[in-house]
Each structure stands twice: as C-alpha cells, then as structure tokens.
A = this chain, B = another copy of it.
Amino acid sequence: MDDRRDMALAMDRLLAHGHAVTPQRRLVAQALRDAAGPISAQELSAALEPGRGIGQMTVYRTLALLADAGVAYQIAATDADRHLARYVFCSGSHHHHLVCQTCHAVLEVGGCGMESVDRDVEQRTGFAGVGHHLDFVGTCPACAAVASGEGH
C-alpha cells in the first residue's frame, strides 16, 4: 500500500504551495486520510484529542491549507447536515466524489471527461479559465438494500 506515498505527496504539495510541514499538519492530514467519510473540522479535532491535543484553530487552518494545496476537498453536497463544512482526502489526480445520501460514504470517481466540457463552456460563453466543481450523490448498495428491506 502507498500510505507513505500519500502522505509524502501531500506534504510535498504543502511545501510547493509555500507552507511549512509541521507535526500537527501531518497528523491532521493523516486523520483526514484515515477518516471513513467526509469529516468536519470539529470531528477531526475530536479524533485527534486522544493522541495529541491539537487546537481546533490549527485544524481549521490546516484544512484550509490542504484544500489550497489540492490535498483536501470540501464536499458541496452536504444537503443532510446543516451549514457544516466537510472535507475528504484527495490523493491522485483529477477526480470527483460520489457521496451516499444515507450513510455519507464516499467513493472517488475518475474519468469524468469534464475537461472537454470546460473547453466547450469556454467556447460558448467567452469566459476564461473555466473549471468546475462537481459532486455526485446517490444511494450506495448497502443503504439501498436496507431501504428496500424496510419498505412496508
């Protein structure tokens, strides 16, 4: 497995963006990567309590830094919860996230072919530097099975 590789790459990206690599930032990134699903800053802070008392201020700042460096991504489709920002760890190259509406599990989805769509939108609108912000939502097989089983 490429556990080490993930973290090394993430830290490299931090450096590339002019941010220092500190033990706290490493721990936050690890906790984010090891999270089961999209996780909020406060949940991360709580998850880190046992090992080290990392201030929530640091968690918020680190998440913003990681997002800036492309290592973390803030999920948009948080319909269920209130106004709460949730993040997921992003390892490789361009991809998107498929979130289960019920259990909030997250799957990375690659090969969306949106690059050509970006170009097409540029052509049609005259906008420059068009990028996109895309999440998928759905029901994962496990939750779908439970739902159909409960159906009276």
Contact = CB atoms under 8 A, between A and B. Distances in A.
A133 to B, nearest CB: 5
Number of copies: 2
A141 to B, nearest CB: 5
Contacts of A100: 127
A128 interface: yes
Nearest to A109: B121
Interface in A111-142: 112-113, 117-118, 121-122, 124-141
A12 to B, nearest CB: 23
Contact of A107 (B76, B109, B125): B125
Given A98-B127, A128-B144, 6 more contacts: A83-B85, A107-B127, A109-B124, A122-B138, A133-B136, A134-B134
Interface of A: 76-77, 83, 85, 98, 100, 107, 109, 112-113, 117-118, 121-122, 124-141, 144
Q: Top 9 A-B pairs ranked by shortest CB distance?
A: A76-B76, A127-B138, A130-B138, A134-B134, A77-B133, A128-B139, A133-B135, A126-B141, A128-B144
